[in-house]
Structure 1
Amino acid sequence: MCGRLNISDYPLSQMVSDTLGMNFNSRSNTNLCPSESVSAVVQVKEQLNQVNMQRGIQPSWSKRLLINAQSETVATKPTFAQAFAAHRCLIPCSGWYEWRKEGSKKQKYYFSHAQEQPLYMAGISYYSTNTQPQVVTLTTKPNSLCEQYHHRMPVLILPEYINAWLHPSNMASNLSPLMSAIPEQYLQVITN
């Protein structure tokens, strides 16, 4: 689910900077894959900062890279609970891709904001002294548009809720309303 992201620096960086009141500067990558570096927004002492993170984690018990956590269980699963409580972040992006089997082939679809605005994917970050910070994005049950293509969709934080999502004092119970699917009118899907 949402394994590939589209990050188009222009006008994404300027729009994110204007919305968040910070200097955000991402590098374009129209096919950002797991394990690649992505620009994230974190809050440190009431100030928003950009941190470049590696997409995905690989716990010792896992044979593969984990790039997503389910919003329904992120606060309680041992792999994710501490990061969710203390290290929530956002991944500003232009959109994401999904593939759907149609006949004998897979068709690629591109999901983006209906008004060409940035999307803010909810994430949780992991810090280690030995490696670049890492990030996992959250997924939720899809809205009626997205469910036609996949059984999950990213948790997308609307601009008016960004401060609530990032503020470290907010507990899981306060955040659960933000972790459901945004209304379908915010999104558009294009055959790619």
Structure 2
Amino acid sequence: MCGRFSINKAITPIVSELFNTHFSVDSNNNLSPSQSVATLVKGNSSYSQVNALWGIKPNWSKKLIINAQAETVAMKPTFRQAFQSQRCLVPCNGWFEWRTEDGKKVKYLFEHANKMPLYMAGILFQHEHTELVTLTTQPNNKCGQYHKRMPALVLAKDKDYWFDSSPQALEPLLQAVEDRVIHVKRAD
């Protein structure tokens, strides 16, 4: 789930204004694991950009871990500490999923219905480099037609709640956004 997403630098003024910070990215319409991702974090009272490599590889894992399930992120030892104190948001234009249709894989783009930036929930890890894991959740009805998971998306109006609340209080934000927020289109 959500192994590719899209970021277009056209959203930088919107994100910069909303978070009252300088947000800057290069366009990447196929951002994939192990690549650098622009995230937003909150310090004492202000937001800043932190670039992170997408994915972690704990000693016990044979593969790169790019997603954590929102339902268990607060309890799993691998993610618990980062979820408590290293939350971030990943601004993007949308994410991609593939579905088999008539024996062929068909790519779909999931974006904001009003062409606004989406903000994926994430957690950061400080190792040799700053690393990122995005959070996934059960899909809404629209997204569930394409995949069994979707990104946990934080609405712009909830950004401060995401950063300022205790992990226990975040459950409402870790649910799927309403169907009307997402537009799905073929991404041939």
TM-score, reference length from structure 1: 0.96
1:175 pairs with 2:187: no
Task: Give unpaired runs (5+ residues) of structure 1.
Answer: none
**1:118-164 residue CA offsets vs partner (Å, 9 max, x unmatched):** 00000000012xx2200100000000100000000000000111011
Question: Deviation above 4 Å: which 4+ runs of structure 1?
Answer: none
Amino-acid identity (%)? 48
Whichever residue aligns with residue 150 of structure 1, its letter is H
Report the counterpart of residue 8 of structure 1 in structure 2: 8
Distance in 2 separating the partners of 1:164 and 1:26: 25
Instruction: Give the match for residue 136 of structure 1.
Output: 133
Between the aligned partners of 2:89 and 2:48, the Cα distance in structure 1 is 11
Mapped pair 1:40 → 2:39: yes
Mapped partners of 2:129, 2:158: distance in 1 = 27
Q: Which runs of 5+ in 2 are unaligned?
A: none
For the residue of structure 2 that corresponds to 1:182, the secondary structure is coil
Q: State how far apart, in whole Å, the 1-side matches of 2:158 and 2:61 are.
A: 33
**SS of structure 2 residue aligned to 1:61:** coil
Return the offset for 1:103. 2.3
Who is 1:158 aligned against?
Answer: 155
Q: Secondary structure at the match of 1:126?
A: strand
Secondary structure at the counterpart of residue 92 of structure 1 = strand
Secondary structure of 2:14 counterpart: helix
Structure 1 distance, partners of 2:125, 2:131, is 5
Equivalenced residues, count: 187
Per the normalisation by structure 2, the TM-score is 0.98
CA distance in 2, matches of 1:93, 1:166: 18
User: Counterpart in 2 of 1:110?
Assistant: 109
